[in-house]
């Protein structure tokens, strides 16, 4: 900011002149944990002052509504919304989220630096502020096949970008605690900047070694004791509530009941589908659940604003005070957090204009490369017992079991709540297929499949018969990636995701319609779509950094022992 602009702001403040005045508001002060009735003056995209008399070029009458800072999502992946960034921005802004801290490691695992650059370009100039954390783990581990590989030198080529804050979630905690040279290069390259963590169930000396290496946050806490231990080590705790990870309610309740300090706690969605955001909300939904679980409303709002801004060193947002960016949201009450108005950079938000996205680079637009498949390529021979990947309801965590399974002619046959799971390598047409048995996704009479397979994003299919699974694979290969439901050889629902097999640039109405069709089709196959999104659940079964069992294109994997299961 230059001296002339600052002089203009000071003069406007002293004279009570503003471009926009929000009148008759109950202003939430996250510094004093109080609510005061006041008018707020705004000019040049920032808050000039709170209280006193203002003359404005434009007025908004809050009529007693609560005026809060714009909400901040402390850790998320735009790609997981399945929508082009502009479509995503329109949807979350309507829910009061004005800033997101995005990690583009999904598209980076498909297209490398080209993918990250694409996300930077497509988020430039949006009313939603999108900051980025550069992906630290591309690939996430050596136990799967990704479309790209990024070194510390590669990441540093983008570190100068003004909206790049630091290093994204460090998922390979084994490499960190083992002092892997390549991983240490990345950590040291960003040692003076924020470094996000990802360390599910890590504890004791291993956790301390992880913190010592640089990661300062974690969004993977699955129980209250884990929260307390990581908080005690100085970590910022990102309480996550997405489409699949919904087990944070008990943690919130314990935080409120035991009075655990919340100054280093913030909220994030991590992975949330656009339809879920539209149906229930974004960060405002987490606020709703936090208050329902006993966290005071102003405390929860501070977690969603000032705490999140402070975590990433964003000194210009997260509060309503002189000089802070005028990202604001009006709520009718502090229980349901339904949004009345959103102000972004001092302007009333009225929607993101829908327009065709520019053509994506070839590395992104043509990203599904499968080898030819034989009719028997999904046959899974069985022994006396088989390893079983068991889903944990409401979480992305899994457990590993081993027991006899139904069979026919020496091969696995779906039944007794068990289905087949397959991961097909889709970046280099290697023909590699990982096969296993899955419990907790009781598909009957069909298959579901997707090219969204965190984090290397190979093609994942699950079903109770090989024919429908292969038909689903064919559908996704033909459309360039996405989600599909197949039964009896017929496609019941399809959401094409031609941008890296992860996102769609279709109009919002079409994306919503296709997402709803997917959920209806999933219910036809006997899947529960109320407690968690089965498609996001499927997307996480291939991520070999989450306990305790996963499956990649290389086979069934025991995360606890970091070894493939035989």
Q: What pLDDT digit, counting tens, does each position of 221-272 carry?
A: 999 999 999 999 999 999 999 876 667 999 999 999 999 999 999 999 999 9
Nearest to 35 by CA among 369, 377, 410, 298: 298
Q: Give me the pLDDT at residue 129, please.
A: 98
Record the tokens describing residue 310, joined without a space: 């402070």
Tell me if 144 is assigned to some domain: yes
The tokens 């979480």 sit on which residue? 395
CA 365/CA 481 separation, integer angstroms: 10
How many helices and strands in the chain, by DSSP H and E? 17, 29
Domain containing residue 134: CATH number:
3.20.20.140
At residue 389, what are phi and psi to the nearest 5 degrees?
-85, 110
Q: Categorize the per-residue pLDDT at 1 as very low, low, confident or very high, splitting at 50, 70 and 90.
A: confident
Tell me if 25 is assigned to some domain: no
Quote the percentage of the chain above a pLDDT of 70.
99
Read off the pLDDT of each residue in 432-437 and give the average, rounded to a whole number: 98
Q: Categorize the per-residue pLDDT at 24 as very low, low, confident or very high, splitting at 50, 70 and 90.
A: very high
- Is residue 430's pLDDT more than 90? yes
CA 279/CA 202 separation, integer angstroms: 34
- Domain count along the chain: 2
User: Do 199 and 94 have their domain in common?
Assistant: yes
Tell me if 95 is assigned to some domain: yes
Maximum distance among all Cα pairs of the chain, rounded to whole angstroms: 86
Q: What pLDDT digit, counting tens, does each position of 288-328 carry?
A: 999 999 999 999 999 999 999 999 999 999 999 999 999 99
The Cα-based distances of 134 to 119, 123, 364 in angstroms read 11, 15, 18
User: Do 556 and 484 have their domain in common?
Assistant: yes
More confident residue, 356 or 467: 467
At residue 562, what are phi and psi to the nearest 5 degrees?
50, 50
What is the average pLDDT value for the chain, to the nearest integer?
A: 96
User: Do 319 and 402 have their domain in common?
Assistant: no
Q: Give me the pLDDT at residue 3, please.
A: 94
Q: What pLDDT digit, counting tens, does each position of 106-164 carry?
A: 999 999 999 999 999 999 999 999 999 999 999 988 999 999 999 999 999 999 999 99
User: Do 378 and 313 have their domain in common?
Assistant: no
Q: Give me the pLDDT at residue 246, please.
A: 67
DSSP state of 81: G
3-class secondary structure, 206: helix
Read off the pLDDT of each residue in 175-195 and give the average, rounded to a whole number: 97
User: Do 310 and 393 have their domain in common?
Assistant: no
Q: Give me the pLDDT at residue 275, please.
A: 86
Q: What pLDDT digit, counting tens, does each position of 450-490 carry?
A: 999 999 999 999 999 999 999 999 999 999 999 999 999 99
Q: Yes or no: say if 91 and 83 are a contact pair by the CB < 8 Å rule.
A: yes
Q: Which of 305, 325, 345 is the last residue of a domain?
A: 325
CA 393/CA 244 separation, integer angstroms: 9
Q: Categorize the per-residue pLDDT at 393 as very low, low, confident or very high, splitting at 50, 70 and 90.
A: confident
Q: What pLDDT digit, counting tens, does each position of 190-200 carry?
A: 999 999 999 99
Tell me if 54 is assigned to some domain: no
Q: What is the pTM of this model?
A: 0.94
User: Which residues partner with 97 through β-bridges?
Assistant: 71
Tell me if 259 is assigned to some domain: yes
- Is residue 214's pLDDT more than 70? yes
CA angle in degrees (0–180, nearest 5) for 260-263-266: 95
CA 396/CA 385 separation, integer angstroms: 25
Q: What share of the chain is helix, strand, coil (3-state, %, to 5)?
A: 30, 30, 40
Range of the domain at 262: 71-325
User: Which residues partner with 59 through β-bridges?
Assistant: 21
Q: Which of 306, 325, 344 is the last residue of a domain?
A: 325
Q: Which of 294, 310, 325 is the last residue of a domain?
A: 325
User: Do 305 and 377 have their domain in common?
Assistant: no
CA 438/CA 434 separation, integer angstroms: 12
DSSP state of 222: -
CA 471/CA 462 separation, integer angstroms: 12
User: Do 284 and 381 have their domain in common?
Assistant: no
User: Do 216 and 299 have their domain in common?
Assistant: yes
Q: What pLDDT digit, counting tens, does each position of 521-548 carry?
A: 999 999 999 888 899 899 999 999 889 9
User: Do 267 and 397 have their domain in common?
Assistant: no
- Is residue 38's pLDDT more than 70? yes
Q: Give me the pLDDT at residue 536, please.
A: 86
More confident residue, 258 or 354: 258
At residue 512, what are phi and psi to the nearest 5 degrees?
-60, -45
User: Do 321 and 370 have their domain in common?
Assistant: no
CA 143/CA 352 separation, integer angstroms: 40
Tell me if 291 is assigned to some domain: yes
User: Do 182 and 302 have their domain in common?
Assistant: yes
User: Do 264 and 379 have their domain in common?
Assistant: no
Q: Give me the pLDDT at residue 306, please.
A: 98
Burial of residue 543, with CB atoms counted within 10 A of its CB: 0-12 exposed, 13-18 middle, 19 or more buried: buried
Nearest to 452 by CA among 86, 74, 107: 107
Tell me if 341 is assigned to some domain: no
Tell me if 66 is assigned to some domain: no
- Is residue 426's pLDDT more than 90? yes
Q: What pLDDT digit, counting tens, does each position of 90-109 carry?
A: 999 999 999 999 999 999 99
């Amino acid at each position: 900011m230059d001296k002339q602009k600052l002089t203009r702001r000071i003069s406007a403040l002293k004279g009570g002149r503003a471009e926009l005045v929000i009148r008759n508001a109950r202003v939430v002060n996250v510094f004093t944990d109080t609510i005061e009735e006041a008018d707020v003056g705004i000019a040049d995209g920032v808050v000039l002052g709170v209280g006193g008399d203002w003359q404005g070029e434009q007025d908004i009458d809050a009529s007693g509504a609560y005026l809060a800072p714009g909400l901040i999502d402390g850790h998320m992946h735009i790609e997981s919304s399945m929508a082009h960034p502009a479509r995503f921005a329109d949807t979350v802004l309507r829910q009061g989220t004005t800033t997101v801290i995005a990690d583009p490691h999904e598209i980076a695992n498909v297209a490398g630096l080209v993918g990250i650059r694409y996300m930077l370009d497509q988020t430039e100039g949006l009313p939603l502020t999108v900051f980025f954390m550069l992906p630290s783990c591309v690939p996430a581990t050596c136990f799967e096949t990704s479309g790209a590989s990024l070194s510390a030198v590669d990441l540093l080529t983008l570190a100068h970008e003004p909206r790049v804050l630091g290093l994204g979630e460090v998922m390979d905690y084994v490499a960190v605690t083992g002092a892997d040279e390549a991983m240490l290069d990345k950590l040291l390259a960003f040692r003076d900047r924020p470094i996000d963590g990802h360390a599910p169930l890590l504890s004791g000396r291993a956790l301390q070694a992880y913190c010592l290496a640089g990661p300062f946050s974690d969004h993977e806490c699955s129980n209250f004791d884990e929260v307390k231990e990581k908080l005690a080590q100085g970590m910022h705790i990102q309480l996550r509530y997405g489409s699949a990870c919904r087990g944070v309610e008990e943690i919130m309740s314990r935080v409120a009941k035991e009075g655990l300090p919340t100054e280093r706690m913030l909220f994030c969605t991590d992975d949330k589908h656009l339809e879920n955001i539209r149906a229930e909300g974004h960060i405002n939904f987490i606020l709703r659940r936090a208050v329902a679980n006993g966290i005071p409303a102003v405390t929860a709002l501070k977690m969603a604003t000032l705490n999140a801004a402070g975590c990433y060193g964003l000194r210009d947002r997260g509060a309503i005070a002189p000089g802070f960016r005028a990202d604001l949201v009006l709520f009718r009450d502090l229980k349901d957090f339904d949004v009345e108005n959103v102000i972004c950079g001092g302007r009333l938000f009225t929607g993101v204009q829908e327009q065709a996205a520019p053509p994506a680079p070839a590395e992104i637009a043509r990203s599904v490369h499968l080898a030819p498949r034989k009719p028997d390529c999904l046959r899974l021979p069985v022994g006396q017992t088989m390893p079983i990947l068991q889903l944990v309801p409401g979480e992305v965590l899994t457990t590993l079991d081993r027991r006899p399974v139904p069979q026919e002619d020496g091969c696995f046959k779906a039944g007794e709540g068990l289905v087949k799971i397959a991961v097909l390598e889709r970046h280099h047409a290697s023909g590699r297929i990982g096969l296993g048995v899955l419990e907790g996704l009781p598909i009957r009479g069909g298959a579901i499949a997707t090219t969204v397979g965190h984090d290397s994003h190979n093609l994942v299919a699950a079903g109770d018969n090989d024919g429908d699974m292969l038909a689903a694979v064919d559908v996704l290969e033909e459309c360039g990636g996405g989600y599909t439901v197949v039964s009896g050889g017929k496609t019941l629902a399809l959401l094409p995701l031609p941008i890296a097999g992860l996102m769609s640039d279709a109009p919002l109405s079409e994306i919503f319609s296709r997402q709803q069709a997917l959920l209806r089709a999933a219910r036809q196959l006997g899947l529960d779509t109320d407690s968690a999104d089965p498609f996001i659940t499927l997307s996480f079964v291939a991520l070999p950094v989450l306990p305790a069992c996963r499956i990649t294109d290389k086979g069934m994997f025991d995360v606890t022992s970091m070894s493939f299961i035989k």
